[in-house]
Amino acid sequence: MTSAARCPALLIAAPASGQGKTTVTAALARLHTRQGRRVRVFKCGPDFLDPFWHTLASGAPVHQLDLWMTGEADCRARLHAAAREADLILVEGVMGLYDGQPSAADLARQFGLPVLAVIDASAMAGTFGALAHGLQHYQDGLPWAGVLANRVGSARHAGMLRQGLREPEHWLGVLSRNPALVLPERHLGLVAATELEDALQRLDVAADALADAPLGRMTLDELRQRWSVDFDLPVASLPVPKLLQGHTVAVARDAAFCFLYAANLECLQALGARMVFFSPLADRALPACDAVWLPGGYPELHAARLAANQGLRDSLCAHVAAGRPVWAECGGMMALFEQLTDGEGVTHALWGLLPGSVTLHKHLAALGPQGLRIGADELRGHTFHYSTCDTPLPARWRTHPPGARAGVVGEGEAVYLQGSIVASYFHAWFPSAPALVARLLGGLGGLGAQSGALAA
C-alpha cells in the first residue's frame, strides 16, 4: 500500500454565508454523480443541514471536517479513505473563507485543498476581481483553484466580472440569477432535503445550470490534471473499546429529531451498541432498549404532535423511572421540558420529564464550538439554538469554548442531570470521546456517581 492516495479535490468557499456555496457544492456533486463518477462530499465545521443535500447529491454519507471538533487525525483519515475510493472529493466551507478558528482556509492549507471561491456577484462588477484577489492572497500559502460568480444578471454582466480578474485562468464560470437555484431556508439554516418531495429535481436544475460553466464542462482527466491532491496515509488509531457491547440504544429519528452526525452513529456501532430507531412523532412507545438518545432537530415545528403523543411520553417516563439513561441534545432536551412556546407565541404542554419551560426567539441565543469535560474525558461539539430554557435545575456540568477553562459559569452551556437524564443544548461529536459517550448512555454505570468536578 502506498503512503498517499491521490484524488482531485476542491474546497468550495465564499466571502460570507449566503453566497451560494451549498448550492454549488451540491450541484457539482450531482453533476458528476449523474455521469457515473464516485463523489465524496465533506462539510467543514459543525453542520447538520447542508449534509442532507450533499448526501442526496452524491449518494454517499457526508462527514464533518473540523481541525478542532473532529481533529486533524480524524480529518486526515477520512480524506485518505475517500481518496482511495472516489473520483472527486468536495469539501464545503463554513461561513466566510477566513471565518472561525480554525477556518476553512486553515483546513485548505493543512491538506492542500484547492479553494474554489463562490461569490454572489449580483450587486457588483469590477469589485468582483478585487474580492477574488483578496480571498486568494489574504493569507500566504493558500491553494487556489479559481472563482465562480453566482446570481449573475446577464452575459454582459458576466463579461464585466470576468474582465475584472487579474488572472483570467481562474475564471470558472457563472450561475445566473434564478430563484429555482436557491435552496429553501428557515431559522436554523437550510430546509433538510428529506423534507422536500422535489429535492432531487432542485439539484438536477442546479446541476444542469452548472454544466454550462467551464467548471461543469471539465472531464475527469482535466480535474485530475488541475486539482489532484495527495492525501497522506493516516497514523493507525487505537480501536474503540466495545464499552456498549450488548446494549441497545434507541435513537429518535424523524422530522422533529433529525440532527444526527453520521460519525456519531458509526461511533455507537464501534462501541458495540445495537441501534434501533424510533419516531417520537409517530410511535406510541419506545422500542425495547437500554438507553435513549434524543438528538436535536425541530421540536418547535412539531410541538402540537409531540404533545399529543401521550403514549410515547408515558413510555419515556417508564424508561426513566427504571433508571435507564437518556441523553438529550438541544431539541431533544427542549421536548423534555414541561412547556414550549414556539415562534408564533403559542405555548404547548410537552413531556414534562424536566421542570421548566422553553421559549423560541427570533434571534440566535448561542452559536459556536464547545467542549464538555468530565473527569479525564473531553467530548467536543458545538451549540446553535434560537431558544432559551427557564428551569430550577442547577447545571451539573458546563461546556466551554475552545481555549477556555472548563466549568466557568457563563462560558458555555449548562448540562443538566435529572435522575437518569443528561440534557443540554450542547451537540456532541461522539468520536472525540467514545468512553464518555459510553458513560452518558449507561455503558459504564452512568454518571450519577461522578463528583461533578471539571478539569481545566
What are the residues whose beta carbons fall under 8 Å from the beta carbon of 62, sequence distance 6 or more?
41, 42, 43, 51, 54, 55, 262
Tell me the sheet residues that pair with 326. 292, 421
The residue among 247, 262, 265, 165 whose CA lies nearest residue 214 is 165
The residue among 409, 381, 402, 324 whose CA lies nearest residue 69 is 381
All 3 cell numbers of residue 362? 427570533
The residue among 218, 20, 202 whose CA lies nearest residue 120 is 20
The stretches of 148-198 forming alpha helices (DSSP H) are 155-163
Catalytic residue among 7, 258, 330, 389: 330
DSSP state of 236: P
Q: Is 330 marked active-site?
A: yes
Side-chain half-sphere CA neighbours of 443 within 13 A: 22
What are the Cα distances from residue 452, in Å, to 124, 406, 438, 455?
55, 12, 17, 10
Q: CB burial class (10 A; 0-12, 13-18, 19+) of residue 26? A: buried
Please state, in angstroms and rounded to a whole number, the distance separating the CA atoms of residues 422 and 367.
21
Please state, in angstroms and rounded to a whole number, the distance separating the CA atoms of residues 34 and 194.
19
Distance of CA 392 to the CA centre of its chain: 31
CB 24 within 8 A of CB 115: no
Q: Which amino acid belongs to residue 206?
A: A
CB 271 within 8 A of CB 241: yes
The residue among 423, 433, 427, 408 whose CA lies nearest residue 366 is 427
Residues with active-site annotation: 330
